[in-house]
Amino acid sequence: MTETDPRICVHGLGYVGLPTAAVLANSGYEVYGFDADPAHRSDLKQGSFDIEEPDLDRFVRRALEDGLTIVSEPQDAEFHIICVPTPYDKNLDRTDLSYVEAAGEAVAEQLREDDTVILSSTVPPGTTAGRLRDVIEASGFSASEEITLGYSPETVLPGNTLTELRENDRIIGTVGGQPTDRIVALYDSFVSGDIRTADATTAEFVKLIQNAYRDTNIAFANEIAKLAHEFEIDSRGAIAMANKHPRVEILRPGPGVGGHCIPIDPLFLNHNNDIPMLIETARRVNDGMPEFVIELLSAALGDLEGVKVALLGVAYKGGVSDVRETPSFVIAEGLLERGIDELRLTDPYVDSDDIDYELSSVEECLDKVDAAVLATDHPEYGALSPKMFVNHMRGNVIVDTRAMLDEDRWETAGFDMYQV
């Protein structure tokens, strides 16, 4: 770092803010990391945190040794990056922007002329140029003349966050006609992907439509899966053949959509308007897939009262411990509501202390159950053998929501196989 390098204050040290602060610190910048939770700040100062991400522990510890300082209040800095949560309230059908407003107020107290403020949180279009700008300009500085206010969303995938923060393309937008040069220069110093520029509202919109596209495509695949069952067709085989067409790219069906982005971000497009009917329909289709999984189980077993079921996989996707918006919990709750005798869960990545369910080993989970539901595509599950299931289960029904098990092999071993 040179004497002319800017100082950076990152506001919010969660799934995105902490890796962002660490990447910047390890790139040579002097970084202040602020989080509103005192307990979280205290843990971070000791190098302890609950975010499970490959290499993040080592990366953060290295940053804390040289470049990253955890602070109890926001500091003066040339750049302020806001990475706070923006939960969606489904009851009120609107995005909760209170964390963004609180972070903006904290930034406003530290602002000096020529400072740059960057919002990274996922927000409805117009947030940066609207509510955040109003809060920031309460400092007395104009976002069109004296400071730079911009937006640059993260587009990372849990399990690969550090790599994608540095390698993914970026879009950067500003408000008030301010140039993007300062923000581009900062991100260009550690991002190897392409950097594109726009106004802030366009940048917000682009992040949302990326995830809405994926959600809608998955919903289409899930609709195909339901139709394929009606016609007794292998949905994945049909999709694979359809994708041979040069202008067709259908994603994979599954038990639902989880994670911090796809199940939530598309709803932000509906903030203060009632236009996106297709997007809302896609959300309903994907939210309905856990019930479809239960229906497959009911078709195989009949009345579910009194049966024992093993649920393999709690995380929302394979190879990670992230349980945010996981369809596994919806399946679990639905099974319990149907009156099953016992539900057992297992997951090689998730800790029982982090969820409201007890977890056991695969062998314990399968012991004397009537049916098993493979809900998460953990790579370990692809190596499971029919023999182990035969030795432990009392029933022979398996619902493989991820198509990880060789259907012919398992049916030869005596199992009734059902795939989404």
CATH of the domain at 407: 3.40.50.720
Q: What is the spatial distance between Cα 80 and Cα 274, in angstroms, rounded to a whole number?
A: 34
Domain match, 142 and 52 both? yes
Residue 242 falls inside a structural domain: no
Q: What does each C-alpha distance from 368 to 244, 273, 296 come to in angstroms?
A: 43, 51, 20
Q: Is residue 75 included in any domain, yes or no?
A: yes
Residue pLDDT, tens place only, 80-91: 999 999 998 877
Quick check: is 207 catalytic? yes
- The answer to the question of residue 373 being in a domain is yes
Arithmetic mean of pLDDT, 310-331 = 96
Examine the fold and report which residue of 207, 234, 250 is the final residue of a domain before the chain moves on. Answer: 207
Does residue 280 sit within a domain?
no
Overall average pLDDT of the 61-86 stretch? 96
Q: Which one is catalytic: 83, 207, 317, 365?
A: 207
State the average pLDDT over residues 167-189: 96
Q: What is the mean pLDDT of the chain?
A: 95
Question: Is 9 marked active-site?
Answer: no
For the chain, what's the residue count? Answer: 420
SS3 call for 268: helix
Specify the pTM: 0.92
Q: Residue type at 251?
A: L
End-to-end CA distance of the chain: 53
* Residue 283 placed within a domain: no
pLDDT exceeds 90 at position 130: yes
Structure tokens at 170: 């970026």
Same domain (yes/no): 112, 203:
yes
Per-residue pLDDT, 1: 43
Q: What's the pLDDT at 91?
A: 77
Residue 306 included in any domain? yes
Domain shared by 52 and 166, yes or no: yes
Give 270's pLDDT tier (boundaries 50, 70, 90). confident
Give residues with Cβ within 8 angstroms of 308, minimum separation 6. 340, 341, 342, 343, 344, 368, 369, 370, 371, 394, 395
Residue 54 domain-assigned (yes or no):
yes
For the residues 92-106, what does the mean pLDDT come to? 93
Q: Which two structure tokens, joined as six digits, stand for 392?
A: 């432990």
Q: What is the pLDDT of residue 230?
A: 95
Do 85 and 203 lie in one domain? The reply is yes
Residue range(s) defining the domain that contains residue 293: 289-419
- The helix (run of H) or strand (run of E) holding residue 71 is strand 68-71
Q: Note the pLDDT tens digit of each residue in 328-376.
A: 999 999 999 999 999 999 999 999 988 999 999 999 999 999 999 999 9
Q: Hunting for tokens 């950097």 — which residue is that? A: 195
Mean pLDDT of 221-241: 97
- End residue of a domain, out of 207, 232, 247: 207
- Catalytic residue among 9, 261, 317, 365, which? 261
DSSP state of 359: B
Backbone phi, psi, residue 419, to 5°: -120, 150
The tally of domains found in the chain comes to 2
DSSP of 271-291, one letter per residue? Answer: TT----HHHHHHHHHHHTHHH
On whether residue 331 sits in a domain, the answer given is yes
Stretch 313-318: mean pLDDT: 97
Same-domain pairing of 203 and 293: no
289: pLDDT strictly greater than 70: yes
What is the pLDDT averaged over residues 275-295?
Answer: 95
Please tell me whether residues 306 and 191 are part of one structural domain.
Answer: no
Residues 43 and 188 in one domain: yes
Q: Is 339 left (phi over 0), alpha (psi -120 to 50) or beta?
A: left
Supply 292's token pair: 């479809």
Q: Where among 207, 234, 259 does a domain terminate? A: 207
